[in-house]
Structure 1
Amino acid sequence: MPQNFTDCMIDFETMGPTPDSVVLQMGWCFFNRKDNEKPVGFRRMFCQLEQKMLGRTVTPSTADWWETQDQDLFQRVSSGKDEIEDVLSDFTASWQKHAIESTWLWSNGPAFDEPILVSLYNSIEQQTPWKFWNSRCLRTLKATSPFVAGFRASEAHDALNDALAQAKTVRAIYQKLDELKRETN
C-alpha cells in the first residue's frame, strides 16, 4: 500500500448546517483518484459538551431530523468523548503521514464539510495541514460528470462510510474521464 495519496475525502455528521455547528463525528479517507488502491480510512467521535462550552451550536431542525433517523445509528454517532484538539491532532498526523504537498482535500460540497473543518482548526488556533488551493468539491465534479452514478454509503450518516462512498465516486468519475479521453485520442 502506498504511503502517500493524491486525495483525501472528509465527511462530518453534525447538529446543524453551519460551520459553527456541534460536530458529532468526522470521517476521512486517503485515496488515489486514478487507481483502485485500497483507501486508508479514519473515524473520530467528538465530545458534544466541550463544543457547547466553546459556543458551537445546535440547530433545532437538525436535532428534529436526527430524531427521525435510526436511533442506534444516532447513539453510535453521538456518543463521542474525543476533544477537538485530539481529533484534529489525529487528522493532522494522518495528513502528514499519507498526503503529499499536492494532495487534494475533497468534500461533498463547498459550504459544509470543509468550512466546518476550518472552523474547528480556527477554534484551537491552528493552521490547517492542507493548502487552500487544493480544495475540491465532489458536487461540482458530479454535476459536470452526469454520465457516472454516485455511490451510496453502506451505512448512511456514518462519516467514514460516507467519505469512502464519496471517494469511490471520485474514482469512478476519473476512470470514466480517462476512458473518454482515450476514445477521443
Structure 2
Amino acid sequence: MSHLMLDLETLGVSTEAPLISIGAIFFDLSSGTQHAEFYRVVHLSSALEFGQPEPATLQWWMKQSDEARSVFNEPDSLSMKAILVEFSDFIKRFGDENVKVWGNGSSFDNAILASAYRKQSIDLPWDFRNDRDVRTIIDLAKELKNFDARAAIKMNEYAHHALHDAKYQAAYVSAAYQALKTI
C-alpha cells in the first residue's frame, strides 16, 4: 500500500515535543478503504527523556475527555525506541517502497516523528520527499470545489486518540481527494 495516515498525541507542539502515542492506518486514497493499522503508547518516562512538555499543552490535556486522557494510564506502554522499531517494521510489512505518509500539518506529525527517529538514531522508514499534508488537500477541496471534507465525514470514535484520529483523517482526506478528482 502506498498511503499511510499518521496521527500523534504529544505534550507540546514543537518538533521537540514529547511523543506519547502513535496511530497510523494504511488506506486507499481513491476509495477510502482502510487497511492495516498501528497504535502504540509511549511510556511516559521514555517520552519525557526526549522532550520538554509545554505548559499550555498540559493544560489542554487536562480539559480533554476521560477517554482521551486514558493514554496516560496505558498498561501496555513501551519505550520510544521499541515503538519506533515496531513502527518501522509495520511500514516495511504493509507499505511499498514509495509509501506516502500523511500528517495533519507539514510541521507537526511527520516532523515530530522524524525528530523522534533522529533522537533514537534510527533511520526514517520512508523517504522525506513522500511527506503529505492533510491540511493542504482539505483547503484545496474547499477552495476549488467548495467541499468541506471534515464536515462531510462524521467521526465515529472519540477525538485525541491517535488511531481514531488517523482513521478519521484518512476518511476525510479520501473524500477531499475524490471531490478534487472531478476538476
With the length of structure 1 as denominator, give the TM-score of the two structures. Answer: 0.88
Aligned Cα root-mean-square deviation (Å): 1.5
Among residues 60, 83, 86, which one is paired with 1:90 in the alignment? 86
Q: Which residue of 2 aligns with 1:100?
A: 96
| Runs of 4+ displaced beyond 4 Å | none
1:78 aligns with 2:64: no
Q: Partner amino acid for 1:49?
A: S
Q: Which residue of 2 aligns with 1:58?
A: 53
* Number of matched pairs: 174
Distance in 1 separating the partners of 2:110 and 2:20: 15
CA contact (8 A) 1:26 1:159 kept: yes
With the length of structure 2 as denominator, give the TM-score of the two structures. Answer: 0.89
Distance in 2 separating the partners of 1:68 and 1:84: 26
Q: Which residue of 2 aligns with 1:69?
A: 64
Q: Partner amino acid for 1:15?
A: L
CA contact (8 A) 2:141 2:177 kept: no
Query: Deviation at 1:55?
Result: 4.0
Greater radius of gyration (CA): 1
1:86-165 residue pairs with structure 2 within 5 A?
Answer: 86-146=82-142, 147-150=147-150, 151-153=153-155, 154-165=157-168
Describe the SS at the equivalent of 1:156.
Answer: coil
CA contact (8 A) 2:24 2:162 kept: yes
Query: Deviation at 1:28?
Result: 0.5
Query: Deviation at 1:174?
Result: 1.8
Post-superposition CA distance 1:84-106 (Å, at most 9, x none): 11111111111001111222110
Query: Deviation at 1:38?
Result: 3.1
Structure 1: runs of 5+ lacking an equivalent? none
Query: Deviation at 1:118?
Result: 0.6
Q: Which residue of 2 aligns with 1:43?
A: 39
Q: Partner amino acid for 2:42?
A: F
Structure 2: runs of 5+ lacking an equivalent? none
Post-superposition CA distance 1:100-122 (Å, at most 9, x none): 12221100101111111011101
Query: Deviation at 1:163?
Result: 0.3
Distance in 1 separating the partners of 2:30 and 2:44: 37
Distance in 2 separating the partners of 1:175 and 1:67: 37
Describe the SS at the equivalent of 2:98.
Answer: strand
Distance in 1 separating the partners of 2:65 and 2:128: 36
